[in-house]
Structure 1
């Protein structure tokens, strides 16, 4: 169980940063001349939250019964996913570019 928890946390950290590091929309479509805007990045972040949650549910189901969760669980995991996304956000929007 410890390995699957660690694997899920690493996967969540990588998935939370992907929308800010990859310039393609949904990792497939090249954006236009203006680039990918913040709304697309938020949509990708939301989609990846649910993908990682589904993987976590599969891992939990493979180890035993799946526990029923209330809204508090989802609020906390969404907040944790946003905290995990912070390094990618800082790199994309707040890091000073040389020569700019």
Structure 2
């Protein structure tokens, strides 16, 4: 149960990271004041795969890893997008422009 909560918490934090950082891939400063949504979405996909690798590693430590098909990955990516909703709202709807 602790591993499950760790992975879910990690996914919730990782899904919101692209919306709280103005640096591209957390290292490079963009040419404009703010980075484009394309970079944020690309970071979101990259973080999805990183969290997936960590979850795969954790599962491999506890038991044999189960083979998954595309519906599993579609569902987990949709859940990752749902986890990103608070960061998206904060970045694009809640904050006042220029702040």
Farther-moved stretch of structure 1 (89-98 vs 59-68): 89-98
Q: Distance in 2 between matches of 1:17 and 1:99?
A: 20
Structure 1 residue 59 corresponds to structure 2 residue 83: no
| Rounded Cα–Cα distance in structure 1 between residues aligned with 2:85 and 2:35 | 18
- Alignment of structure 1 residues 18-97 onto 2, 5 Å: 18-97=17-96
Ranges in structure 1 where 5+ consecutive residues have no aligned partner: none
CA drift of 1:35 comes to: 1.7
- 1:40-72 per-residue CA deviation (whole Å, 9 max, x = no partner) reads 000000000000000000000000100000111
TM-score normalised by structure 1 residue count: 0.93
Query: What is the rounded CA distance, in whole Å, between the counterparts of 1:31 and 1:99 in structure 2?
Result: 16
> How far did residue 33 of structure 1 move?
2.7
Structure 1: distance between partners of 2:43 and 2:49: 10
Distance (whole Å) between structure 2 residues aligned to residue 81 and residue 99 of structure 1: 28
Q: Secondary structure at the match of 2:84?
A: helix
Q: Which residue of 2 aligns with 1:15?
A: 14
Gaps of 5+ in 2: none
Counterpart-to-counterpart distance in 2, 1:53 and 1:36: 25
Q: How does the TM-score come out when normalised to structure 2? A: 0.94
RMSD in angstroms over aligned alpha carbons? 1.6
